[in-house]
């Protein structure tokens, strides 16, 4: 008989003791804390060391039956990853820090990092520029135009996967809200607009059965407040990096 897994916090403490016993503190995060755990749920561990620690890395392990993802930082590295997420309009690292469980409780460094993350989340992502909105409209238009029942279903699965992320990200970012990717995107959509999230689910369920009309309607609905589809006449200058490609440094 397989032994029952220990609880979330017990497993998180065991994971730290086994792999990073000399860390200053950590944040234990994951679907368990959101009340969404399943038998396959893992633990995300954001581990913090002092400023002299430079072995910044990600590491995966299984501890007491729990899959564990470690993100091992010092404060400077953690600030870097939070800012990188901010620039792409996602608060992945900030969310783990704000909503994770601090181990040991009330560790000063963890509380200081949480205060930074809370400030970044409250400020929101940088607003999309007009050019960024136009670029997103263009790529969504191009993806919508790719949907064709005469094409192989396998090809369309890839198109739909791209479209799901494009539409969800566009809807959230165009309103100045934090976005996500993959399964996290669905969770954010449900939180921000449950009615629209249900429409996403119905549209993509139909699309994966090769009924593309609902997802095309959804795409056009989301584009409409920003000018609708965008294709003819769009011009973007190439980066000047091509000028130096292949040139000898000598």
Mean pLDDT of 144-163: 97
Q: Where exactly are the structural domains of the chain?
A: 11-123, 130-226
pLDDT surpasses 60 at 54: yes
Check pLDDT > 60 for residue 2.
no
Average pLDDT of span 33-62: 90
Which phi and psi (to 5°) does residue 10 adopt?
A: -60, -45
Residue 151 per-residue DSSP state: S
Percent of the chain with pLDDT over 70: 97
d(CA 86, CA 223): 24
CA distance 222 to 139: 13
Residue 7: its pLDDT value, please?
A: 85
| pTM over the 0.75 mark | yes
Residues 58-63: what's their mean pLDDT?
96
In Å, how far are 87, 105, 107 from 232, measured between CA atoms? 29, 57, 56
The pLDDT of 99-123, averaged and rounded, is 97
- Position 40 scores a pLDDT of 74
Question: In this structure, what is the dihedral angle of CA atoms 236, 234, 180, 90, given to the nearest 10 degrees?
Answer: 40
Q: What's the confidence (pLDDT) of residue 30? A: 85
**pLDDT band for position 33 (cuts 50, 70, 90):** confident
What's the CATH number of domain 11-123, 2.40.30.170, 3.30.460.10, 3.40.50.720, 3.90.180.10?
A: 3.30.460.10
Closest CA to 186 of 152, 161, 151, 155: 161
Q: Angle 194-207/153-174 helices, nearest 10 degrees?
A: 170
Is residue 71 very low, low, confident or very high in pLDDT (cuts 50, 70, 90)? Answer: very high
Residues 6+ apart with CB under 8 A from 89: 125, 126, 169, 172, 173, 178, 179
Task: Please give the Cα distance from 24 to 50 (Å, whole number).
Answer: 7
The CA dihedral of 154, 158, 160, 165, to the nearest 10 degrees, is 160
- Quick one: pLDDT band at residue 118, thresholds 50, 70, 90? very high
- How far apart are the C-alpha atoms of 93 and 79, rounded to whole Å? 9
Choose between 4 and 65: higher pLDDT.
65
Residue 37 has a pLDDT of 64
User: pLDDT tens digits for 161-213?
Assistant: 999 999 999 999 999 999 999 889 999 999 999 999 999 999 999 999 999 99
The pLDDT of residue 3 is 58
């Amino acid at each position: 008989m397989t032994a029952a897994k220990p609880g979330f916090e017990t497993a998180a403490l065991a994971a730290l003791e086994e792999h990073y016993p000399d860390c200053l503190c950590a944040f234990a995060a994951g679907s368990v804390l959101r009340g969404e755990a399943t038998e396959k749920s893992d633990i995300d561990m954001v581990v913090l060391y002092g400023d002299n620690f430079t072995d910044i890395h990600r590491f995966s392990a299984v501890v007491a039956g729990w899959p564990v993802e470690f993100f091992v930082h010092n404060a400077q590295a953690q600030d870097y990853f939070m800012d990188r997420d901010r620039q792409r309009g996602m608060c992945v690292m900030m969310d783990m820090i704000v909503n994770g469980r601090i181990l040991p409780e009330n560790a000063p460094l963890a509380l200081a990092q949480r205060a930074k993350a809370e400030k970044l989340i409250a400020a929101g992502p940088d607003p999309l520029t007009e050019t960024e909105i136009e670029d997103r409209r263009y790529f969504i238009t191009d993806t919508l135009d790719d949907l064709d029942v005469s094409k192989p279903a396998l090809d369309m699965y890839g198109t739909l996967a791209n479209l799901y992320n494009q539409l969800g990200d566009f809807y959230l970012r165009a309103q100045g809200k934090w976005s996500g990717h993959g399964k996290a995107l669905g969770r954010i959509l449900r939180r921000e607009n449950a009615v629209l999230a249900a429409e996403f689910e119905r549209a993509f369920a139909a699309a994966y059965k090769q009924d593309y009309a609902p997802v095309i309607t959804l795409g056009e609905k989301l584009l409409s407040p920003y000018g609708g589809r965008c294709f003819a006449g769009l011009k973007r200058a190439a980066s000047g990096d091509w000028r130096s490609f292949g040139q000898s440094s000598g």
